Amino acid sequence: MSSAAARKARPKYLSLRALLFEIRLPLPGWVSILHRISGALLVFPLTAWLLFLLDASLLSEAGFEKTRGYLALPLAKAGMLLFIWAFCHHFCAGIRFLLLDLNRGIELHQTRRSSLMVLIASLALTAYFGARLW
Amino acid sequence: MNRIVVGAHYGTSDWLAQRITALIMAVYAVVVAFIFMSNASMSYAVWKDLFAAGWMRVATLLFAVSLVWHAWVGVRDILMDYVQPDGLRLALQVSTLLLLASYLGWTVQILWR
């Protein structure tokens, strides 16, 4: 065993400092944790919010116009932008995971490239749909 | 009764269900996104007719069932990973099931009104 490895303090405990500044998550790790965060956000509160909007907009013509006016509010637009990002990220990352399940692109350099592609594609889709929204 | 208490593959059906429901939702999402994009200024009449169509109601119901199933597997995974106290995890899992069941009920109510 090399002496450098032997001199390292063991065991090493996780601390907030370690989580924030010492542990660098690789790109596939970012895609993975963002997949979880976006999934959790989609379950709650975003699905509840969208069902509320769908309910109100289909109830009557007045409800439809009211929903349209509500969605023009900056806060509602920000919420919609969050939904669009969460959905697009979950969608793109999910397709990547499905391909990984089929053993497509499982080499290290491929997984790094595909995770970068997922992060960029979901942000680009969010920008596109967000621009359509505004 | 022949019970196998050790082994693997307990999660295989959940794993597979999560992936199949993902594909169903992906197809629905792409179709709905195209409908949205091709109707730049959506009117109430178009919006109402869209959700009055039989195929759209069935497709949306399929989407909702897929979402609930998919979300249950996903949220359960998250809770099993991060919430260690058994009582708290059980409470959160029951809350999740109630939430997802109410989503499904709400969707049916909106679609067949």
C-alpha closest to that of B36 among B50, B52, B23: B50
**Rounded mean pLDDT of A89-100?**
97
Reduce the DSSP state of residue B98 to 3 states and report it.
helix
Report helix angle B86-111 to A47-59, nearest 10.
20
Range of the domain at B94: 10-111
Give a yes or no: residue B3 inside a domain.
no
Q: Classify residue B2: in a domain, yes or no.
A: no
Q: Which pLDDT does position B56 carry in this prediction?
A: 96
Triad A83, B82, A52: Cα angle to 5°: 30
| Cβ contacts of B47 on chain A, cutoff 8 Å | 57-58, 64
For residue B1, tell me if it sits in a domain. no
- Measure A53 CA to nearest chain B CA, in Å: 11
Residue B87 domain-assigned? yes
Per the prediction, chain A carries an average pLDDT of 91
- Please indicate, yes or no, if residue B5 is contained in any of the structural domains: no
How far, CA to CA in Å, does B47 sit from each of A60, A87, B3, B103? Answer: 11, 22, 53, 21
pLDDT digits (tens, 9 = 90+) for B61-103: 999 999 999 999 999 999 999 999 999 999 999 999 999 999 9
- Residue A7 pLDDT level (bands cut at 50, 70, 90): confident
A67 and A120 Cβ atoms separated by less than 8 Å: no
In a domain, B78, yes or no: yes
The answer to whether residue A72 neighbours chain B at the CB level (below 8 Å) is no
Q: How many helices (H) and strands (E) does chain A have?
A: 7, 0
| Whole-structure pTM value | 0.88
Instruction: State the CATH number of the domain containing residue B64.
Output: 1.20.1300.10
Residue A65 in tokens: 């116009």
pLDDT tens by residue, B22-45: 999 999 999 999 998 888 778 999
Residue B2 C-alpha, separation from nearest chain A C-alpha, in angstroms: 32
Number of domains in chain B: 1
